[in-house]
Chains A and B, each alone.
Chain A
Amino acid sequence: MMVAPVTPKSWYLPSKPHKFCPGCGHGIVLKALGEAIDDLQIQDKTVFGCDIGCSLLSWDFFACDSTQTHHGRTTPVMVGIKRSRPELITIGYMGDGGGYSIGSQHLLNAAVRNEKVTLILVNNTNYGMTGGQMAPTTLPGQKTETSPYGRDPEETGYPTKGPEFLAEVTPEGAYIARATVSKYNQLRRFVRNALRNQIDGNGFSFVEVLSTCPTNWRTNAQQTWRFLEDEMEQYFPVGELKSPFGKGGAK
């Protein structure tokens, strides 16, 4: 007998089953986010913004007010909402392309200004929706549609380490972390901390989440997990890089 999974209250059931590919990490991230929203009881005052790319498939994912923006422009739209209605909890959801490439200008400056928004960036080392092109976080040697012979760092630089540079440029009060879909409880904890940081009015909060894309990686289940855990997590260290909360985490 099929048992329906327990879904967060803040999920919008009419849009399920969702449109992400089998094996995609987005479903896991959005579940952690949904559980955090429920736990913090902010469903009614959350505004959720998504980028263009696979993240756009989350535009009707939550039973929260949501707005789909342009590629790379989720950050400024969330900033505009937060600056004009500070009582709302703004969550910007984007991929590694939207955040570290076309949207990097906005991400960097929002961080420097310590904007009180929460941004969640799902890093699967490629541009998924457009068919698997190279992204800022593509690993050296990794083959993609626009690096068919493997990424050459001499030509195209090394993968962007977003949380590391954001931790450098943000003032006190910011929360910067990197999580992975392979460690769900930690992911949920980091996302909850990031939201808590906004609720408490401390400052900018950002969580990069290492995630999977078997469709464009062209990997089977085993290969997918291996790439995530053995390669990505080695290159991009997981943990909290900056946090106003102590060891116990946010309350």
Chain B
Amino acid sequence: MRNVIEGSKKAFITGNEAVAWATLVAEADIMFGYPITPQNEVMHYWTRLAPKHGRGFLQTEDEISAGFTVCGAVQAGKKAFTATAGPGNVLMQEPFGMAEAMRLPLVAIIQQRGGPSSGTVIYSQQEVTLTTFGGNGEGHRVVYSTATHQEMYDYTIKAFNTAWKYRFPTFVLGDGYQAKMREPLDMYNPADKGIKMVKPYPLVGLDGQIGENREPQHLNNIYSLEEELYDAVLEFVKDYEAMTPDVTEYSADQCEDADIIILSHGVVSRAADDAVKILRSQGIKAGSFRPITLRPFPSQELRNVISNSNAKTLLIAESAYGQLDRLVKQEIYGETVNIENLFMPGVGIIDYDIANKVKSIL
């Protein structure tokens, strides 16, 4: 594959466009997608760029098909991805479940919009539960929650490597703001930053002659007996737990001497960082914690931050009504820190929202 970008390129573009470029430099072979706001531009850019670089595209008849065509393509050994939002994300849980069951390196970019149902086309953080634990499985997925365009670019590249190395469906969880806003970022070829792209390999359509130098591959996702399923799921657990230390990411700022820690993810963490600055300038000792991977969740890391901190209170701030809150509580069960909430479902959160809430608590 020839270089998509010459050297490093500074750009002032939308998040959707950044995603499209990132998938290109990540050597994605093919995209399957279906129109839904606010991720449509990922397809618009891909359809314009892809033919110049010998990549493929199909707009399918619905999101279910988009998800299953990706499943087929990765089984055939090609790097495939899709993008969706809201009700499209709901439909894709069926193929995402198949990817969990068959350990397929599926990559999907989710640009959250208001929910439930058609909600809004604008923004939310209301697809956390769906993206982390949707479908009828145990949530054996990797979910990166990005906050900036640079991260949308970086983590889209990383998502392909994570997916093809560990074989869990891997998601880049953005939102409508990140999708549509413009901000600067640096685009680069992974090789220039010493990032080696994992090569894909087929699960069906292998080389060789059946019976002579290889066996036929028989892939399935249904079992006859309870015990077979139990064994299969426990294998997933084993692999997932082995992967967790390598993949988990988070960031924490000024938590040690904080009286209160603001916990948020994605774009809201930008407001949280600003809120910390505002509060500190006013003499209030605030800190922030941000899970970057929602799955696997940085639970041990959060527990460590809590135990090394003065803070008696966590403020969980999200543009949803409790999806991050539930996720955190399940992960830090047993911690006795007080938990407060700032829930603004489908609505953007700014620094003063958080700062004012902190003041009302303390």
Contact = CB atoms under 8 A, between A and B. Distances in A.
B214 to A, nearest CB: 9
B181 interface: no
Given A47-B204, A66-B204, A83 B209 contact: no
A186 interface: no
A77 B68 contact: yes
A84 B206 contact: no
Interface in B68-109: 68-73, 75-78, 80, 94-95, 98, 102
Given A63-B216, A105-B61, A109-B61, A84 B210 contact: no
Contacts of A109: 60-61, 65
B75 A66 contact: no
A135 interface: no
B220 interface: yes
Interface residues on B, range: 35 or more
A43 B68 CA distance: 24
A123 B77 CA distance: 32
A13 to B, nearest CB: 10
A106 B76 contact: no
Given A63-B216, A65-B216, A80 B73 contact: yes
Contact of A59 (B32, B210, B211, B220): B220
A81 B73 contact: yes
B76 A81 contact: yes
A19 B98 CA distance: 24
Contacts of A45: 205
Contacts of A79: 58, 60, 65, 69, 72
A133 to B, nearest CB: 19
Interface stretch (A68-76, A175-183, A236-244): A68-76
Interface of B: 29-30, 32, 56, 58, 60-62, 64-65, 68-73, 75-78, 80, 94-95, 98, 102, 202-206, 208-211, 216-222
24 contacts: A59-B218, A59-B220, A64-B216, A65-B205, A65-B218, A66-B219, A69-B98, A70-B68, A70-B95, A73-B98, A77-B75, A79-B60, A79-B65, A80-B32, A80-B73, A83-B56, A84-B72, A84-B76, A85-B76, A85-B202, A88-B76, A105-B61, A105-B64, A109-B60
Interface of A: 12, 43-45, 47, 49, 52, 56, 59-60, 62-70, 73, 76-85, 88, 105-106, 108-109
Given A65-B217, A66-B204, 11 more contacts: A44-B210, A59-B218, A60-B220, A64-B210, A77-B71, A79-B69, A80-B68, A81-B73, A83-B69, A84-B73, A84-B80
